Amino acid sequence: MKRKIAVPFIYFALTVCILALIVGASSVGAAGIGVFRSLRILFSRLPLLGNLADQSDFRPSDLTIVLMIRLPRILLAGFAGCGLSMSGAVLQGVLRNPLADPQVLGISSGAAFGAAIAIAFGFSVTAWGIGGIASFALIGALLTILVVWRISFIGGKESVVGILLAGISVSSLLTSAITLIMVMRREQLEKVYMWMLGSFSSATYPKTVFLGVITLVSLLFILPSCFSLDVLATGDDSAESLGIDARRLRRRMIVLSSLCVAACVSVSGIIGFVGLIVPHIVRLMAGSRNRRLIPMSCLAGAIFMILCDTVARTLAAPAEIPVGAITAVIGAPFFLFLLARTRGGGVRV
């Protein structure tokens, strides 16, 4: 009975935290805008209710900063955290590895390789409403998924170890290729390096809509399979005994997670550890059942990423710290902690 009461409360608390963070984050930065003024600016743009807000003291600069600069960045960070956390939770389940992370399949390296090519050779083509670098990063990530997929299933045999090894191998190869590009194009070295550290500084509403749609569609396709994922976590034999096609389920979940991660990385650069940290924190709050774990990971991931991005852009204002550096500072010790517990048999998916 207590669990039934606790779970709705957790959803409510996470939702309230997201709304509060959106207002709070939109009020802080190099140009200080009060919390209440930011709240009124945001409220004034709500359909039907916007006319109720007092807009007499709104300055054009405040409207531009809150609505055109900070809000799309906050929303993009939220969707990225949502997608990366959801993908991390799914991959940890289907790969039956508590240390699995969206980067383990080489998707981030593929995106970085595509972005490095775009930066080094000056490609500026636009696709799906996002710029040249993001477009090439998305294409690179998707091609990497295909390559890892083909390598891991050579000979028609499927294994979790094969998928992991293929992802690690392709990731190492692409990292070497990126290094060569940076050496050959030294004048673009800093730009490539900064993109690889991750940032939401180039956030726009088209990018936000693009990532929001991809994340929502991925979630809608994943949620109906929550029970099957719970069974799959106990082993392929258990899943097959209940009539679940383990191979087909694993492939579908990996494809959906990979597509979501590819979209996230294409608009933000490489941001590590989010898909590792958040699902484990959520498990401590709500347990390991995917029906709760996945949607709660989405909400908690959005909170975590908005917090990290707010710290990244305000800690050294007016300068900006790459958000990937913030998540790494938090994630690296957490990873070592999980590794120690796993070796001691203390972590379970």
For residue 74, what pLDDT is reported?
A: 96
The predicted-structure confidence for 223-271, as pLDDT tens digits, reads as follows 999 999 998 888 878 888 888 888 888 888 988 888 888 889 888 888 9
The predicted-structure confidence for 106-147, as pLDDT tens digits, reads as follows 888 888 888 888 888 877 666 555 667 778 888 888 888 888
For residue 51, what pLDDT is reported?
A: 67
For residue 218, what pLDDT is reported?
A: 93
- Specify the CATH number for the domain of residue 268: 1.10.3470.10
Q: Which DSSP state fits 30? A: S
Q: How far apart are CA 27 and CA 331, in angstroms?
A: 27
For residue 279, give the nearest of 203, 338, 197, 208 by alpha carbon.
Answer: 338
- Predicted confidence (pLDDT) at residue 303 exceeds the cutoff of 90: yes
For residue 248, give the nearest of 158, 148, 145 by alpha carbon.
Answer: 158
Backbone torsion region of residue 25, taken as left when φ is above 0, otherwise alpha when ψ lies between -120 and 50, otherwise beta: alpha
Residue 349 lies in a domain: no
Q: How far from chain centre, in Å, is Cα 92?
A: 15
The answer for residues whose C-beta is within 8 angstroms of residue 7's C-beta and 6 or more apart is 286, 292
For the chain, how many structural domains are there in total? 1
Lowest mean pLDDT among 12-26, 73-87, 204-218, 268-282: 268-282
- Predicted confidence (pLDDT) at residue 3 exceeds the cutoff of 60: no
For residue 2, what pLDDT is reported?
A: 43
CA angle 276, 334, 89 (to 5 degrees): 15
Axis-axis angle for helices 246-268, 132-152 (nearest 10)? 160
Residue 292 lies in a domain: yes
In percent, the amount of the chain with pLDDT more than 70 equals 89
For 80-144, what is the HEC assignment?
HHHHHHHHHHHHHHHCCCCCCCHHHHCHHHHHHHHHHHHHHHCCCCCECCECHHHHHHHHHHHHH
The answer for residues whose C-beta is within 8 angstroms of residue 4's C-beta and 6 or more apart is none
**Residue pointed to by tokens 């998916």:** 349
**Residue pointed to by tokens 């799959």:** 232
Helices in the chain by DSSP H: which ranges?
Answer: 2-27, 35-43, 60-63, 71-94, 107-121, 132-152, 160-184, 189-197, 205-222, 226-232, 236-241, 246-268, 274-286, 290-314, 323-343
Residue 348 lies in a domain: no
For residue 97, what pLDDT is reported?
A: 78
Contact 82, 267 (CB under 8 A): no
Q: How far apart are CA 137 and CA 210, in angstroms?
A: 14
Q: How far apart are CA 164 and CA 68, in angstroms?
A: 41
For residue 212, what pLDDT is reported?
A: 94
Tokens representing 68 are: 């055109």
The boundaries of the domain holding residue 152 are: 2-343
Residues in the chain: 349
Residue of 60 and 349 predicted with greater confidence: 60
Handedness of CA 112, 113, 116, 122 (dihedral sign): negative
**What is the average pLDDT across 197-204?**
88
Residue 321 lies in a domain: yes
For residue 40, what pLDDT is reported?
A: 83
Summary mean pLDDT of the chain: 83
For residue 127, what pLDDT is reported?
A: 56
Residue of 103 and 80 predicted with greater confidence: 80
Q: How far apart are CA 91 and CA 336, in angstroms?
A: 19
Q: How far from chain centre, in Å, is Cα 338?
A: 20
Q: How far from chain centre, in Å, is Cα 333?
A: 19
What is this structure's pTM?
0.88
